[in-house]
């Protein structure tokens, strides 16, 4: 089974938008064991889109066309697929009603343009939309091929890919072999050091294979990929290798697959029946925002005092007058957060995101504190990169400090 | 003059690396006034690379092949170009000596593999390497076409593109035309409604052309693209069309090009010498984090009280006991933020991010308030999507409410 990706949009050719959709689809196809040898990007031109779809169908069994399903005049993927397949475009009355209903549910009137989103090439079926107003398409092609159309908005594309396209491709491929991946997520070690720690596992493993993925602000990932006759066997292979790697890596591993650092922290707090309050400065609210992202956060997350201005640190958090980029200020912030937010655990973070130095401290200097059980632990880190990167790295560093503190009991 | 981009690398197809090179090359070609209608990605397979180069040469006058010039066995772009052009590969003794010199200058011995980097298709000339060890290639094709090869390492690619490829393309095209884009960023209107508002401009414009770009949580963009003899003339064309569109869209336009919503807000606050304090609930700190992202925020951003827990709303912000997802709570939060953070402007936001209802309000219900000049304005919005999306949309909606309030004076 071979599947190609065609990304549609003049903005992609002009470099105004980087095409991350093709990379995401490519990764997902690889995990599903579907070969993908070509990806094409083409502008908003019906003839050229139709041409590349035709070329892709000659080389491959399936084509995923991404983008150009919106309601405006330059959204012409529907027309181009019909042209490539040599069939007329038909307007689907039931889908028109469905889209109108989506607008009415939001208290808005549907523009007449949106009716175009109910067009489909004759013989094609819709993939119902869950997010957005654009349905996807499954279009049978002569000779047993298939063309899928999915929206270009990344979260709409991903949802539709996972729910409809990948399962349909797997059904068509009839393959019995499953390929399953599992990702161990680590924080606090450089890639070269991580590679040395696990070198003997990587060198000697063929199933699962082990690959390193650098994920920037989310740390380093080890991806295990197992091939097996069924999901149970794949899970057994992955369980065994995960146990070997965890024995080497210990608490450097903070999560598996989609388990984020904040999720790991949330589970530890919940298990210990603790509540958390935060006082943050350079991160501006990022720490609170990440914590609040976890479902069920209201059970343990009290809130965060973003004391960007020094006066707020003194008034609301009881930070002593003096330099606010200091270990003493971070400790006072963590303790002040406990008091002001009435939490059993407090976090404090202050530092220099840049572009200029502050309190004589260079850009990237960050002091972080955890107040818990009558003691306050402070750590100092020096983070690289631009202003946004320093803020993101500071946020996950603080959450990791809390995670390791809670693991100590 | 038409030029295509072919990016080589199995890692691109597998989604392990996002192909930013093609976007960068596409942007540079557009600025040079060279049309680019297709981009292709292909894995490290000689036959398939040769095939896509051949197809590209049939459709276009020039092809830039990016990647696969390294010294290892899977770097086969040189072989593939020779195959596509039907000429043998020859090893260039002078280039072998040059590469050996690069290694010796760094005090290292050249591996024999690196000799492969001195291979060129017969009839081709080298683009000397300035960074890295891989020279580029300029390969004449039958019928007057040309194939360029540049490295896949982004900074090596960019240097070679700028120094050698773009000037060579412009010489061949004999054209002096420039293409310049400008993007107007809007918030608060659906794509279909925006399209209807500006339909008569879109339908009647050929230079600049006007295109719609949906940017999800960052709103909708209108991209104007002008072709002209020089940059001054392009700027005049863009200025004139921007004025027409602004007359139609009014304050729906919040920024131009890279100007974010928080940047727009920062400029208004700074111009009016105001300071800002925030009280946020469902957004968890996202409002503060976006505001703090703007350079110079410390001049006007006091901070944010993330009152996730209801008790914090009552204690720190003076929200009256009762339902906390309400217009009254949002107003009290905005006013409480002014008091607690000693700011001249206050924002309050409370709502239901999901997954379950709260205070009898459905998921997506958000109340937002701006306290300024002795009055507090409250707005209620109903936002679609998942929990993270609701939180992001709520954040930018609140900032837009503040922007419009400040514009009123």
CATH code of residue B278: 3.90.950.20
Contacts of B212 in chain A (CB under 8 A): 70, 72, 74
Contacts of B292 in chain A (CB under 8 A): 282-285, 306, 308, 391
CA A98 to chain centroid, in Å, comes to 30
Region of A38 on the Ramachandran plot (φ > 0 left; ψ -120 to 50 alpha; else beta): beta
Instruction: Choose among A152, A303, A309: nearest Cβ to B302.
Output: A309
Q: Which of A119-123, A178-182, B353-357 has the highest mean pLDDT?
A: A119-123
CA distance linking residue A301 with residue A220, whole number of Å: 27
Contacts of A340 in chain B (CB under 8 A): 316
Residue B258, C-beta contacts closer than 8 angstroms, at least 6 positions apart: none
Detail the DSSP E strand segments found in A169-290: 178-186, 209-214, 220-228, 253-256, 276-280
Instruction: Choose among B196, B211, B214: nearest Cβ to A10.
Output: B211
Is some CB atom of chain A closer than 8 A to the CB atom of B304?
yes
Is some CB atom of chain A closer than 8 A to the CB atom of B26?
yes
Are residue B242 and residue B284 in the same domain, yes or no?
no
pLDDT tens for chain B, 409 residues long, are 899 999 999 889 988 788 999 999 998 898 787 899 999 999 999 999 999 999 999 999 999 999 999 888 789 999 999 999 999 999 999 999 999 998 888 788 888 888 999 999 999 999 998 877 889 999 999 989 999 999 998 888 999 998 999 989 988 988 777 778 899 999 988 888 999 999 999 888 889 989 887 766 788 999 898 888 888 999 999 999 999 999 999 999 999 988 999 999 999 999 999 999 999 999 999 999 999 999 899 999 999 999 999 999 999 999 999 999 999 999 999 999 999 999 999 999 999 998 889 999 999 999 999 999 999 999 999 998 889 999 999 999 999 999 999 999 8
- DSSP-based three-state secondary structure for A50: helix
Is some CB atom of chain B closer than 8 A to the CB atom of A280?
yes
CA distance linking residue B131 with residue A185, whole number of Å: 34
Contacts of A12 in chain B (CB under 8 A): 23, 26, 39
Region of A364 on the Ramachandran plot (φ > 0 left; ψ -120 to 50 alpha; else beta): left
Mean pLDDT, residues A83-109 taken together: 93
Q: List, as one string, the DSSP characters of A105-133.
A: HTT-PPPGGGGGGGEEETT-EEE--SSSS
CA distance linking residue B376 with residue B332, whole number of Å: 9
Euclidean distance between the first and final Cα of chain B, in Å? Answer: 51
Residue B346, C-beta contacts closer than 8 angstroms, at least 6 positions apart: B276, B277, B278, B279, B333, B334, B335, B336, B337, B338, B369, B370, B371, B372
- DSSP-based three-state secondary structure for B169: helix
CA distance linking residue A214 with residue B402, whole number of Å: 38
CB contact under 8 A, A19 and B14: no
Is some CB atom of chain B closer than 8 A to the CB atom of A48?
yes
Contacts of B42 in chain A (CB under 8 A): 37-39
Q: What is the CATH number of the domain that holds B231?
A: 3.30.70.2860
Q: What is the CATH number of the domain that holds B42?
A: 3.40.980.10
- DSSP-based three-state secondary structure for B380: strand
- Going by pLDDT thresholds of 50, 70 and 90, the confidence category of residue A176 is low
- Going by pLDDT thresholds of 50, 70 and 90, the confidence category of residue A214 is low
Mean pLDDT, residues A109-117 taken together: 91
Are residue B231 and residue B274 in the same domain, yes or no?
no
Are residue B224 and residue B319 in the same domain, yes or no?
no
Domain with A63 in it: 3-173
Is some CB atom of chain A closer than 8 A to the CB atom of B306?
yes
CA torsion sign, A295 to A263 to A217 to A363?
positive
Detail the DSSP E strand segments found in B124-275: 125-127, 136-140, 146-150, 178-186, 209-214, 220-228, 253-256
Are residue A245 and residue A154 in the same domain, yes or no?
no
CB contact under 8 A, B284 and A293: yes
Q: What is the pLDDT of residue B227?
A: 86
- Going by pLDDT thresholds of 50, 70 and 90, the confidence category of residue A218 is confident
Is some CB atom of chain A closer than 8 A to the CB atom of B209?
no
CB contact under 8 A, B40 and A43: no
User: Contact A200/A190 with Cβ under 8 angstroms?
Assistant: no
Instruction: Choose among A13, A114, A298: nearest Cβ to B192.
Output: A114
Are residue B113 and residue B201 in the same domain, yes or no?
no
Instruction: Choose among B216, B291, B292: nearest Cβ to A153.
Output: B216
Q: Which of B256, B272, B304 is the last residue of a domain?
A: B256
DSSP B199: H
- Put simply, the chain B residues between 319 and 348 with a CB less than 8 A from any chain A CB are 340-342
CB contact under 8 A, A38 and B28: no
CB contact under 8 A, B305 and A306: yes
Are residue A250 and residue A361 in the same domain, yes or no?
no
Give the number of domains in chain B: 3
- Put simply, the chain A residues between 173 and 202 with a CB less than 8 A from any chain B CB are none
Are residue A133 and residue A205 in the same domain, yes or no?
no
Contacts of A342 in chain B (CB under 8 A): 311-312, 315
Sheet holding B3-8, edge to edge: A125-127, A136-140, A146-150, A62-66, A3-8, A38-42, B38-42, B3-8, B62-66, B146-150, B136-140, B125-127
Is some CB atom of chain A closer than 8 A to the CB atom of B138?
no
Q: What is the pLDDT of residue A384?
A: 84
pLDDT beyond 90 at A354: no
Q: 3-class secondary structure for A300-360?
A: CEEEEEEECCHHHHHHHHCCCCCCCCCHHHHHHHHHHHHHHHCCCEEEEEEECCCCCCECC
Q: What is the pLDDT of residue A216?
A: 65
Are residue A34 and residue A155 in the same domain, yes or no?
yes
Q: What is the pLDDT of residue A284?
A: 97
CA distance linking residue A101 with residue B241, whole number of Å: 36
Q: Which of B241, B256, B271 is the last residue of a domain?
A: B256
Instruction: Choose among B37, B293, B340: nearest Cβ to A388.
Output: B293
CA distance linking residue A118 with residue B304, whole number of Å: 44
Is some CB atom of chain B closer than 8 A to the CB atom of A356?
no
Is some CB atom of chain B closer than 8 A to the CB atom of A101?
no
Is some CB atom of chain B closer than 8 A to the CB atom of A113?
yes
- Put simply, the chain A residues between 380 and 409 with a CB less than 8 A from any chain B CB are 387-388, 391
Instruction: Choose among A15, A111, A297: nearest Cβ to B196.
Output: A111
Is some CB atom of chain A closer than 8 A to the CB atom of B96?
no
Q: What is the pLDDT of residue A309?
A: 96
pLDDT beyond 70 at A215: no
CB contact under 8 A, B192 and A297: no
Is some CB atom of chain B closer than 8 A to the CB atom of A225?
no
User: Which of A236, A242, A206 lies closest to A222, judged by CA?
Assistant: A242
User: Contact A406/A230 with Cβ under 8 angstroms?
Assistant: no
DSSP B281: S
What tokens does A258 get?
């989609």
Instruction: Say what the pTM is.
Output: 0.77
Q: What is the pLDDT of residue A97?
A: 95
User: Which of A4, A25, A21, A32 lies closest to A227, judged by CA?
Assistant: A32
Mean pLDDT, residues A370-395 taken together: 93
Determine the residue among B26, B386, B389 to mutate to test chain A binding: the one whose Cβ has the most chain A Cβ atoms within 10 Å. B26
Residue B393 C-alpha, separation from nearest chain A C-alpha, in angstroms: 14
Q: Which of B139, B173, B207 is the last residue of a domain?
A: B173
B307 → chain A, closest CA residue: A303
Are residue B279 and residue B376 in the same domain, yes or no?
yes
Residue A66, C-beta contacts closer than 8 angstroms, at least 6 positions apart: A5, A6, A7, A8, A21, A22, A25, A149, A150, A151, A152, A157
Are residue B365 and residue B270 in the same domain, yes or no?
yes
User: Contact A402/A264 with Cβ under 8 angstroms?
Assistant: no
CA torsion sign, A187 to A188 to A191 to A196?
negative
Are residue B142 and residue B204 in the same domain, yes or no?
no
Q: What is the pLDDT of residue A14?
A: 87
CA distance linking residue A302 with residue A299, whole number of Å: 8
Instruction: Choose among B45, B48, B309: nearest Cβ to A302.
Output: B309
Partners of residue A136 on adjacent β-strands: A127
Percent of chain A residues topping a pLDDT of 90: 74
What tokens does B91 get?
């090893």
Instruction: Choose among A280, A285, A303: nearest Cβ to B286.
Output: A285
Is some CB atom of chain B closer than 8 A to the CB atom of A287?
yes
Are residue B137 and residue B12 in the same domain, yes or no?
yes
User: What would the pLDDT profile of A23-40 be if each residue is shown by its tens digit?
Assistant: 999 988 988 888 899 999
Is some CB atom of chain A closer than 8 A to the CB atom of B217?
no
User: Contact B185/B245 with Cβ under 8 angstroms?
Assistant: no
């Amino acid at each position: 089974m071979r599947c190609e990706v065609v990304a549609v949009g003049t903005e992609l050719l002009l470099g105004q938008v980087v095409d991350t959709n093709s990379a995401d689809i490519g990764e997902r196809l690889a995990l599903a064991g579907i070969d993908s040898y070509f990806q094409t990007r083409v502008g908003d031109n019906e003839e050229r889109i139709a041409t590349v779809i035709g070329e892709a169908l000659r080389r491959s069994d399936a084509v995923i066309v991404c983008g150009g399903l919106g309601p405006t005049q330059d959204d012409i993927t529907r027309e181009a697929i019909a042209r490539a397949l040599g069939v007329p475009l038909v307007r689907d009355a039931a889908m028109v009603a469905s889209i109108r209903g989506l607008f009415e549910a939001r208290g808005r009137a549907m523009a007449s343009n949106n009716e175009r989103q109910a067009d489909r090439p004759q013989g094609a079926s819709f993939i119902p939309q869950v997010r957005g107003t654009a349905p996807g398409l499954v279009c049978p092609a002569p000779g047993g091929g298939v063309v899928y159309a999915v929206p270009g908005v990344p979260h709409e594309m991903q949802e539709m890919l996972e729910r409809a396209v990948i399962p349909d491709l797997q059904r068509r491929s009839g393959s019995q072999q499953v390929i399953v991946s599992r990702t161990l997520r680590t924080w606090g070690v450089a890639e070269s050091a991580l590679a040395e720690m696990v070198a003997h596992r990587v060198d000697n493993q063929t199933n699962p294979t082990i690959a390193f993925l650098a994920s920037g602000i989310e740390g380093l990932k080890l991806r295990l990929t197992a091939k097996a006759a069924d999901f149970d066997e794949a899970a057994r292979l992955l369980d065994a290798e995960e146990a070997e790697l965890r024995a080497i890596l210990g608490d450097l591993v903070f999560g598996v697959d989609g388990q984020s650092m904040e999720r790991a922290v949330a589970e530890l707090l919940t298990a210990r029946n603790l509540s958390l309050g935060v006082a943050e400065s350079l991160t501006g609210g990022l720490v609170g925002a990440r914590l609040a992202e976890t479902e069920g956060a209201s059970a343990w997350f009290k809130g965060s005092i973003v004391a960007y201005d020094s006066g707020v640190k003194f008034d609301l958090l009881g930070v002593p007058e003096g330099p606010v980029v200091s270990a003493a200020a971070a400790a006072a912030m963590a303790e002040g957060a406990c008091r002001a937010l009435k939490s059993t655990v407090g976090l404090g973070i202050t530092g220099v995101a840049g572009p200029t130095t502050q309190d004589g401290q260079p850009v990237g200097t960050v002091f972080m504190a955890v107040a818990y059980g009558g003691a306050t632990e402070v750590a100092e880190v020096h983070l690289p990169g631009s202003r946004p990167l320093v803020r993101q790295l500071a946020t996950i560093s603080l959450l990791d400090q809390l995670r390791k503190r809670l693991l100590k009991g």
